[in-house]
Structure 1
Amino acid sequence: MPGNHIILFLLWTVYCLLHSLLASIAIKIKLAVILGNQFRYYRLVYTIFAFVFLVYILYYQFSIETMAVFKTTMFSRLAGVTIALTGLVIMFICIKKYFISLSGLLSLVKEDSHSTLIISGVHKYVRHPLYLGTFAFIWGAFLCFPLWTVLIADTVITVYTLIAIRFEEDKLVKEYGNSYKQYQASVPKLIPTFRSVPVGEPRSTLK
């Protein structure tokens, strides 16, 4: 059983590292030169690859034997369901709003698919609502199903995402300059304060 858990840890780690590698600017520049006009489909192909890999990891995670980290109670299950559902709602709002651009489908109908800064929705309260929703969902699920396999997955995803946010924000500052710096100063990273940002200040369409 410990061996299977180590493999699961490695699978999630590789998945996260591949995400960073394939999304890096250096790799995109090299592939843009190699693929030429076909590079417009890169994000769509990557999205399909990431989805298939994710399905495989989840299949492996649910297929191995594991043990509970702690015994659940009615309170922990209720708290878990509430937190997880809240996370799902936030994720749904973000994915519904940005699915076309994030998935790469925009490249099928529009050659210039660069992201823009906008002011709308949950981005008025937190800079990375999709990440916030993801954290709420996975840790809420852990309270409902406190298994070692779930804890391993949640820990890898959380640590990776917190590190990735720092690099992502550096990239956004380079891309949008002072506009994004003003946004950083006005809106919290992950914990919302529910103070709406005045119209005219920037908003990231990313995560």
Structure 2
Amino acid sequence: MSYLVLVFLWALFYITHSIFASLNFKQKMKSWLGKAYVWYRLLYSLFSTVLFLYIIIYASAIEKWALLAMTDMTTYIGFMLAALGTIIMVKAFKNFSTPKFVGLKPHDDLEEKGEFIHTGIHSYIRHPIYSGLILIFLGYFFYQPYMSSLIHFLCLLIYLPFGIYFEEKKLIKLFGNQYEQYRKSVPSLIPRLTKKAT
């Protein structure tokens, strides 16, 4: 039962993430909040952070069901995967304004279209943050090879096709043909060994 609750919590986290990031929901919130909408991103970040921490705390409190033997090798693999994922995410965030991304710098993201980012690591994969998360969650599973860790990882994998679909639908609406061409030439999560000729 505890594992079903964990799955439900992740479903709640990912569903609210997609809803709160959608343009339609943001427009409704702007009409309701008025000028206070500039703080929407911060409120969303706080909500997501609290829910994420609750999921992690809940998962750490439920009964441990080991799926693999914990060895030096599994620990090493876990650290290496998580480190690689962290490096990818750090490189991805270099293309963003962190205060704006988190919401510490109040702004109206419906008025400010934002920059179309396709350089740096984004020239190899369209969603490096998601790629980094996959590696971090997989690394965490090898570091703590419990059923709860596997659920963390599998819930992420199940959500990603939906998350990417809704995110790219929004990006196409914002950037039009420019993003369509980018999507055709750059893979989503796994980089090609060589760049596709344009």
TM (normalized to structure 1)?
0.85
**Residue matched to 2:87:** 89
Deviation at 1:34, TM superposition (A): 1.1
Q: Distance in 1 between matches of 2:43 and 2:184?
A: 35
1:128-185 C-alpha deviation (Å, 9 max, x unpaired): 0010000011012212221001111111122112221012112211221110111112
Match of 2:139 in 1: 140
Are residues 1:114 and 2:113 paired? Answer: yes
Q: CA deviation at 1:74?
A: 4.2
Change (3 A) 1:119 1:197: farther
Deviates more, 1:100-109 or 1:51-60: 100-109
The match for 1:35 among 9, 14, 33 is 33
Q: Distance in 2 between matches of 1:21 and 1:119?
A: 25
Identify the residue that residue 123 of structure 1 maps to in structure 2. 122
Residue identity in the other structure for 2:141:
F
Which residue does 1:48 correspond to in 2? 46
Structure 2 gaps of 5+ residues are none
Residue number in structure 2 paired with 1:70: 68
After superposition, the Cα gap between the structure-2 partners of 1:28 and 1:111, relative to the gap in structure 1 and judged at 3 Å, is closer
What is the SS of the residue equivalent to 2:93? helix
Deviations 1:57-96 (A, max 9, x none): 1111111112111224444333322211100111122235
8 Å contact from structure 1 (residues 83, 137) kept in 2: yes
On the 8 A contact 1:106/1:113 being kept in 2, the answer is: no
Q: What is the TM-score when the length of structure 2 is the normalising length?
A: 0.89
Per the TM alignment, residue 35 of structure 1 is displaced from its structure 2 partner at its CA by 1.0
2:7 counterpart residue number: 9
CA distance in 2, matches of 1:65, 1:107: 42
CA distance in 2, matches of 1:163, 1:194: 26
Which whole-Å CA distance do the structure 1 matches of 2:136 and 2:38 have between them?
Answer: 32
Q: Equivalent pairs: percent with the same residue?
A: 33
SS at match of 1:105: coil
Q: d(CA) in 1 for partners of 2:74 and 2:58? A: 26
Distance change >3 Å, CA 97–CA 176, structure 1 → 2: closer
Q: Contact conserved, 2:85 with 2:135, CA < 8 A, in 1?
A: yes
**Consecutive unaligned residues in structure 1, runs of 5 or more:** 202-207
SS at match of 2:114: coil
CA 1:22–1:83: 2 relative to 1, 3 Å? same
